[in-house]
């Protein structure tokens, strides 16, 4: 955080900036995951989530417009680290079922981070009597939960393939 925060309102804006940075980083990473995945179902899930993530960025931009502020200024170091770790795991794994297992693991780490932040920030918006902002965040939170659930379903199939190949 680069700004001294003295109110919950300020913290809400800083967290939104952090989310904006995280989502922007994810939009740059998801095409690489699509390319690296072997499973058609996993590729499709990543492509679908890329479109959703672009919508998450748009919702955050809408929230900033409502708040009369800019999304710029924060770098989400947490997401940067999660994505770097996932990239490292990807490059250490041969293409195929094992790489798909790794991709799902990395993607679910991203989803869980996002769900934690979106849930918390939505609560701040609700407590600050900002139902307009809370609703935007709720929509994204639900999509993140659905993406995580879809990854879990795919992992059950991919893990079986990987175990049989071992």
Q: In this predicted model, what pLDDT tens digit does every residue of 92-105 receive, in sequence order?
A: 998 888 899 999 99
Stronger pLDDT, 166 or 44, i.e. the higher one: 44
Q: Given pLDDT bands bounded at 50, 70 and 90, which one contains residue 3?
A: low
Please tell me the distance from the alpha carbon of residue 137 to that of residue 56, in angstroms, as a whole number.
9
Is the CB of residue 75 less than 8 Å from the CB of residue 19? no
CA distance between the termini of the chain: 45
In the predicted structure, residue 1 carries a pLDDT above the cut 70: no
Residue 21 lies in a domain: yes
Q: What is the per-residue pLDDT across 51-65, written as a single tens digit (0 to 9) for each?
A: 999 999 999 999 999
pTM of the model: 0.92
Q: What is the pLDDT of residue 121?
A: 97
Mean pLDDT of 133-142: 98
Residue 93 lies in a domain: yes
Residue 116 lies in a domain: yes
Count: domains in the chain: 1
Residue 124 lies in a domain: yes
Residue 89 lies in a domain: yes
Residue 96 sits in a domain of what CATH number? 1.20.1260.10
Specify the residue for token string 């939170």.
Answer: 141
The residue among 81, 85, 75, 147 whose CA lies nearest residue 111 is 147
In the predicted structure, residue 21 carries a pLDDT above the cut 60: yes
Residue 101 lies in a domain: yes
Residue 131 lies in a domain: yes
Residue 2 lies in a domain: no
Q: What is the pLDDT of residue 2?
A: 59
> Which residues form the domain of 24?
8-165
Mean pLDDT of 127-137: 97
């Amino acid at each position: 955080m680069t700004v001294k925060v003295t109110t919950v309102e300020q913290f809400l804006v800083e967290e939104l900036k952090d989310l904006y940075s995280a989502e922007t980083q994810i939009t740059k990473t998801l095409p690489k995951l699509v390319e690296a995945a072997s499973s058609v179902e996993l590729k499709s899930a990543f492509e679908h989530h890329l479109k959703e993530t672009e919508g998450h960025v748009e919702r955050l931009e809408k929230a900033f417009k409502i708040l009369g502020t800019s999304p710029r200024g924060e770098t989400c170091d947490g997401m940067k680290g999660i994505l770097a770790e996932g990239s490292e795991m990807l490059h250490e794994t041969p293409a195929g079922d094992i790489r798909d297992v790794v991709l799902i693991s990395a993607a679910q780490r991203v989803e869980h981070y996002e769900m934690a932040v979106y849930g918390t920030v939505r609560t701040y918006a609700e407590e600050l009597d900002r139902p307009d902002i809370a609703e935007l965040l709720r929509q994204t939170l639900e999509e993140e939960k659905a993406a995580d659930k879809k990854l879990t379903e795919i992992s059950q199939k991919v893990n079986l393939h990987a175990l049989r190949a071992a």
